[in-house]
Amino acid sequence: MDRATEFAERYGALASRDARFDGQFIAGVHTTGIYCRPSCPAMTPKPGNVSFYRTAAAAHEAGLRACKRCQPDAVPGSPDWNLRDDLASRAMRLVHDGVVEREGVPGLAARLGYTARHVTRVLTAELGAGPLALARAHRAQTARSLLAATELPVADIAYAAGFGSLRQFNDTIAAVYRATPTELRALARRGTPTSDDAGTITLHLPARAPFDGPGLFRFFADHGIRGFEEGDDTRFARPLQLPGGRALIDVTLEPSGVVLRARLATLSDLPALTARVRRMFDLDADSVAIDAHLGRDPDLAPLVSAVPGIRIPGSASVDEALFRTLVGQQISVAAARTVLGRIVEHFGDFPTAAQLADRGHEVLRGPIARIAAIRGVADVIAAGDLPLDPATPVAELRARLLALPGVGPWTAEYLAMRALGHPDAFPATDLVLAQSAAALGIAPSPRPAWAPWRSYAALHLWRARP
């Protein structure tokens, strides 16, 4: 799409106040010096006074501040970072996970496999801002969410959002929002303050509509590990390992998204927590585009119509998802839950790769070859020879997994979908998927016309199991 066409489409969304595009881009109005979400109720500016940006950081770099009326960062994030697998998108996944705060730009670049200079150059060219500016914008958004939803003191919020000092925090809030933290808290709440139990953080995480929340929560409940996870159609709770320690999360469904309640080992884990929960619940997916695309297929159209807004059930971590998948191969979901429950009980938590490699034989059951395969994969991960994080390119993950003994195409595709949130994976050899496809009279194979949303096509076929 050329720039003129792209500008015309975005301006049309702005002029019609189309909320479907909130979070996908922002509009900078140079005559007022602010940037807004597309659905902002303010008067539509003239085309010559508007520039569109993919990120808030790019708007900040252009000297703009966030609109106090529409609060453009209080919306679901861009689906681009999960849809695409290019360098910029993988970098954004890590920025949201708090890698820049923990490891700096050199650490971000090392995870991506490039020099810091190259990463900065690519991000500036494609997103309008370098990694430091992107991280700064994300810190400001995290702080705004905490000011709106918690009773935490301002100093604690500055620390939780990743700021190095209270002065840096105050300066950033003033630059981005043209307000003090206290003023921003009052503005964001708009008369609806919330309170937390001591030690519990409560946040509302919006989802892009339509959102099949009950189906997503039911999936987590049906696959939950006994004694480790619990849930039903509207709630899911479990422990979660974060960079600073173990957290306990409790996620409940609400009409516009989910409510996250968490007890953290350290407040600095909050950006990583929110990023991972958003991925787990696929909150940023562009359901309107996905449903419209898949609904054009006459075989899938009835399924899409019956379940609009279907989402990919993500995972707490890539390595946990890998071991859960390996343990569950060739056995029923119920049997896998039992086996995994026994493993968690044995180790007192979900085991690390090193623990499985060293002591997996104490608790793993089944064919000797399968046990050896699981421990072999654990050995590779524990040695650092199989990097598993949100920045792992999907093609690289598939190739590395398929090179391991005991790992086949089904595992690689299933993990691309559930562990990385890849929208275009399709485990064609899956038995349930094959049964559903047969009942519909179609081949259990990924049709080219379903791309780039074949993961969601697979989810519809699973849901339609006869």
Q: Which residue, among 12, 60, 21, 65, has the nearest Cα to 39 in the 3D structure? A: 21
b/e 142-163 (16+ beta carbons within 10 angstroms → b): bbbbbbbbbebebeebbbbbbb
- Give residue 257's identity as a one-letter amino acid code: G
> How far is 79 from 92, CA to CA, in rounded Å?
11
pLDDT in tens, the chain (466 residues): 788 999 999 999 999 999 889 999 999 999 999 999 999 999 999 999 999 999 999 999 999 999 988 989 888 888 888 888 899 999 999 999 999 999 999 999 999 999 999 999 999 999 999 999 999 999 999 999 898 888 889 999 999 999 989 999 999 999 998 889 998 888 876 544 344 555 688 999 999 999 999 999 999 999 999 899 999 999 999 999 999 999 999 999 998 899 999 999 998 899 999 999 999 999 999 999 999 999 999 999 999 999 999 999 999 888 899 999 988 887 888 888 999 999 999 999 999 999 999 998 899 887 888 888 899 999 999 998 887 787 888 888 899 889 988 888 999 999 999 988 999 999 998 888 999 999 988 887 888 999 999 999 999 999 988 7
The active-site residue out of 36, 40, 67, 70 is 36
Using alpha carbons, select from 261, 250, 388, 392 the residue that is nearest to residue 322: 388
Catalytic residue among 22, 97, 282, 430: 430
For 466, other C-beta atoms within 10 Å of its C-beta total 8
Q: Is 430 annotated as catalytic?
A: yes
**Residues making up the chain, counted from first to last:** 466
* Angle of CA points 201, 229, 386, to nearest 5°: 90
Which contiguous run of DSSP H or E holds residue 258? strand 257-263
Q: Is 2 a catalytic residue?
A: no
Report pLDDT for 197.
Answer: 52
- pLDDT of 195: 40
Instruction: Tell me the per-residue pLDDT of 110-167, one tens digit each, with 9 for 90 and over.
Output: 999 999 999 999 999 999 999 999 999 999 999 998 988 888 899 999 999 999 899 9
The model's pTM is 0.90
